[in-house]
Structure 1
Amino acid sequence: MRSSLSRRGFLAAGSGIAAATALPALSGCSSIAAADSDPDTLLVHTQLGTTAPGSATYTAVVDLFQKENPGLGVKNLVNGDDLAQVYETSRLARKEPDVVMINLYDKTLAWTDVGATVDVKGYLDDWGLRNRVVPAALEAWTDGKGRLRAFPYFATNWPVAFNTTLLDRAGVGAVPTTGDELIGAARKLRGKGIAPVTVGGNDWTGQKLLAQIIQTFLTQEEAQQVYATGDFGGRGAREGIEYFVSLRDAGVFADKAQGLTSDTMTTQYNTQAAAMQSAMSSALAKVPPEVAARTEVGGWPLAPGAAHEKPTIMRSFTLIGFWISPNGTKKLPAVEKFLRFMYRPDVVSRFITESGRDMALVTDTVSKDFPLVAAAQRLGDSVGQVLLPDLYVPPTASQPLITATSTAFTRGTSAASVRSVLESAYRGA
């Protein structure tokens, strides 16, 4: 896989321009800017502190950590979707935070390979934390050279949510499990003025659903090859695209899905304007109780001849991990205390019970106040599983694939055109 970051460019000491652009990103608070050189202050770069589920719990457990470790402080640098870019800029100036909390996707796929973060496998073993991690999570976070990119933490299930009350109102007798049933349900729902499947066709949620449907006729091994190379010309990939187009043009997706976002999607489902959504755990956790009580979770309906025996969902163990930076290796005693604390069973349980998060760690705790998250965890072998392609898509193709997704969700776009825009996203990757 070719990185969008050159080894020379990333590891260079950085020009005056690079340093000048990095410093403001870290200097929103003078105490944070100074923390990089303080051995008793751990600087953590995180997305938890925005509106991301788990933010309140994270703030609370960090406060607890500091109370239990007097003299050792934690300063949080909070960013949203721009975290990866901000971190890379700070790394060029050698002012990067000590620990980074982010998912394995797009730019971050290259970090360990170019030295922006370090292999943590030895630390995981030295600190006795390997048995705390779900084996599948360790596999997902390990690169092709055997390096463990980060300490796994958040995971996610990604089923389909069905509002059974809306289905009943439209005369749909049961949750659809086949493509024909889904098309029939969509017609009946539209007859009642209800959007069938809402989806963020203009962002990552649509990209993932499109990938899921394309995999209808692909094994996971075949899907890995397709998404690593961008070759959608094989029979299985072409049939999957054709299946997607048949569903789209039959009115399965909400009107103007090509312009909708993840926020629009969750709003439509949570206000009962739409009957179905493909929803990861964090979205399931946000479904209001009165809607959750009317929701059943399951898999995406299949077409005849599918490579899977049961409707499919996606699962991922790479939603958030703790990455250690080169600066972090200078503060290993502090990093070790922090990660041991975050891996503690009582701390892990708080993210599950208070925030409805799925975890990549071994735990018996159940999300009692987040029934849909718990229901997705219980699906087990009752559904099939397709590949979440994030680990295989070259970083330079990630954003172009979202643009291609919007084109794919535009009604009337032919299957051949959908294939063309998907493959075009890989040019230069």
Structure 2
Amino acid sequence: MRAQLRRLPPLLAATMLLATGCAALDPQDDGPNTLVIHTQISGTAPGAEVFNAVVADFRRQHPEMHVKVVSNADDLPQVYETSRLAGKEADVVIVNLFDKTLEWTGVGATVPVGKYADAWGLRDRIEPEAVKQWTDGKGRLRGLPYIGTNWPVAYNMAVLRKAGVAEPPATTGELLDAAKKVKDKGGIAVTIGGSDWTGQKLLLQILQSYLPPEEGPKLFTEGDYCGSPAAMKGLKLFTELRDAGVFAENAQGLTSDTMTTQYNTGQAAAMSAMSSALGKVPEKTVKDTVVSGWPVPKDGVHDHPTMIRSFTAAGLWLSPNGAKKLPLVKKFVQYMYSEKVVDRFITEAGRDMAVRSGTVPKDFPLIAAARKAAEDKAVDKVMLPDVHIPGAATQPLINATAQAFAPGRTPQQICRAMSAAYERTN
């Protein structure tokens, strides 16, 4: 146990030890014909019903195997890490690449899967950019990319037209003009969950208005926001938008749930939302919605409105226990990457996949529109900084960006708070 703890970051290991006393939260059946899957695709998560159905089909196709599923939502990383310390972790883990999971491969909590992607004929099935995002600084493929997301801006044209705005704004100037007109009519220009991850993502997207793409990885890894002239120009732009009333009132206290409610009920003209949220927009609002990107300044580094495209929403990770059951793991993984299963996630759950597919989610028109926008030249793609932000800085950075939505916070104050979020990573 002590040897295992030394392989983990000290603070992380201590937290897990205090929480569990090294006890396994999931008593695993260690039989050689048992495959244990630990998944974040559960409960009300988009695709949960499809996942349950395809696992049931897999069980019917492989009666010689016992397949056990363990489900957790946002606390999956903590539960998995605890079970790993006890040597009782699941064989395959389905979870996003974010925060704690960024460190798993480096500390031996999971096994690199690059050679299996090749041996099992999966590499050509995966989007090349997805492979890039899942590969760490030492060239290790952390997990097999599976689900991604497009992150556009949804515009409610009924709200905009009521305010006298005929088209979604494409430039910062047009956004400021549209926001004033919408507010004058008593509406909300842009709703955003300023207190949580949705606010963080939008602020970092705006920051990239002036940030050359090649500078992004270093900035988001090291966190020297005050030392980057491009980042400071982006933060200045953010404060100008905030002070002009572009964002919903008291945005620093709003959540992603508040954001989607305000948009879905026609109170707001726009929201920046990942594609899974677009799948939950009610039909009445869908008819009024146009999908585009975030407006850009004319002196910025982008020619078109920007949109985040990421392939990190979920992947299939291999644990040390799973590495001892490769024949079972191979059957399940190849099944999950089959065209039939991938297409079910697209058509029945509206998920954007990190797997190559020409299937269109016809029952999810906004998700289809976001995908089309991401694949043409109507928008410029910007990075999702999550794969570069150290795990220990993730929540402190969200706290810092929440403060940024509060009136009166200057670019200098914001950059100092954002940089301070990285203190425990040094």
Please give the range of the TM-score, normalised by the shorter of the 2 chains: over 0.9
| 2:198 corresponds to 1:205 | yes
Q: 1:342 to 1:241 in 2, by over 3 A?
A: same
8 A Cα contact 1:198 1:257, kept in partner: yes
Number of corresponding residues: 417
Query: Root-mean-square deviation (CA), in Å?
Result: 2.0
Match of 1:338 among 325, 332, 336: 332
Q: Name which of 150, 154, 157 aligns with 1:164.
A: 157
Change (3 A) 1:13 1:73: farther
Deviation at 1:18, TM superposition (A): 6.7
Counterpart of 1:131 in 2: which secondary structure? helix
Q: Name the SS of the counterpart of 1:412 in structure 2.
A: coil
User: 1:14 and 1:224, CA in 2 relative to 1: closer, same or farther beyond 3 A?
Assistant: closer
1:8 offset after TM fit, Å? Answer: 5.5
1:107 equivalenced with 2:97 (yes/no): no
Aligned residue for 2:64?
71
Q: Structure 1 pair 19/164, CA: closer, same or farther in 2 (3 Å)?
A: closer
* Residue in 2 that maps onto 1:427: 423
C-alpha displacement of 1:71:
2.5
Q: Which amino acid aligns with 2:366?
A: L
SS in 1 for 2:317: strand
- Whether contact under 8 Å (1:162, 1:175) holds in the other structure is yes
Is 1:364 matched with 2:372? no
Distance 1:413 1:333, change over 3 A: same
Aligned equivalent of 1:412, options 388, 399, 408: 408
Q: CA deviation at 1:111?
A: 0.5
- Match in the other structure for 2:46: 53
Q: Which amino acid letter does the alignment assign opposite residue 268 of structure 1?
A: Q
Indicate how the Cα distance of structure 1 residues 381 and 203 shifts in structure 2: closer, same or farther if over 3 A, else same: same
The amino acid across from 1:361 in the alignment is V
Structure-2 residue corresponding to 1:387: 383
1:6 to 1:24, Cα distance in 2 relative to 1, 3 A: closer
Residues 22 and 86, structure 1, Cα contact 8 Å, conserved in 2: no
Deviations 1:257-314 (A, max 9, x none): 1011111111111111111000111011111122111101111011121011111000
Cα deviation for residue 121 of structure 1 reads 0.9
Instruction: Report percent identity of matched pairs.
Output: 53
Which amino acid counterpart does residue 395 of structure 2 have in structure 1?
Answer: Q
The residue number in structure 2 matching 1:350 is: 344
* Contact 1:158–1:281, Cα closer than 8 Å, also in 2: yes
Q: Which secondary structure state, in structure 1, belongs to the residue aligned with residue 311 of structure 2?
A: strand
> In 2, Cα distance between the equivalents of 1:48 and 1:200?
23
**Residues of 2 paired with 1:229 and 1:110: CA distance?**
16
Residue 25 of structure 1 deviates from its aligned partner by: 2.6
Alpha carbons of structure 1 residues 158 and 8: separation in structure 2 relative to 1, 3 Å = closer
Deviation by residue 1:10-33 (Cα, 9 ceiling, x = unmatched)? 8x999996795454632xxxxxx2
Correspondence for 1:194: 187
What is the letter of the counterpart of residue 161 of structure 2?
D
Assess, with a 3 A threshold, how the Cα gap between structure 1 residues 13 and 266 changes in structure 2: closer, same or farther. Answer: closer
| TM-score in terms of structure 1 length | 0.94
Residue 74 (structure 1) shift: 2.0
Do the aligned partners of 1:13 and 1:94 also contact (CA within 8 Å) in 2?
Answer: no
Distance 1:234 1:119 in 2: 34
Q: 2:295 corresponds to which residue?
A: 301
In structure 2, the residue matched to 1:275 is 269
Aligned to 1:260: 254
Matched, 1:242 2:236: yes
Letter of the 1:391 counterpart: V
TM-score of the superposed pair, with normalisation by structure 2:
0.94
C-alpha contact (below 8 Å) 1:258/1:409 kept by paired residues: yes
Provide the rounded CA distance (Å) in 2 between the counterparts of 1:22 and 1:281. Answer: 38
| Runs of 5+ unmatched residues, structure 1 | 27-32
The Cα of 1:138 is off from its aligned counterpart by 1.1
Aligned match of 1:146 in 139, 149, 153? 139
SS, match of residue 424 in structure 2:
coil
Give the stretch that moved more between structures: 409-418 or 239-248.
Answer: 409-418
- Contact 1:176–1:182 (CA under 8 A) maintained in structure 2: yes
TM-superposition CA deviations, 1:333-367 (whole Å, max 9, x none): 11111001100001000000000000011111001
CA contact (8 A) 2:16 2:81 kept: no
- Cα deviation code 1:96-152 (max 9, x no counterpart): 111111111111111001100001111111111111111111111111222111111
Q: Check conservation: 1:46, 1:102, Cα contact below 8 A.
A: yes
C-alpha spacing 1:38/1:242, structure 2 compared with 1 (3 Å): same
Q: Distance in 2 between matches of 1:401 and 1:417?
A: 13
Output the amino acid matched with 1:198: T
Q: 1-side partners of 2:22 and 2:159: how far apart?
A: 50
**Contact 1:21/1:89 (8 A) holds in 2:** no
Describe the SS at the equivalent of 1:402: helix
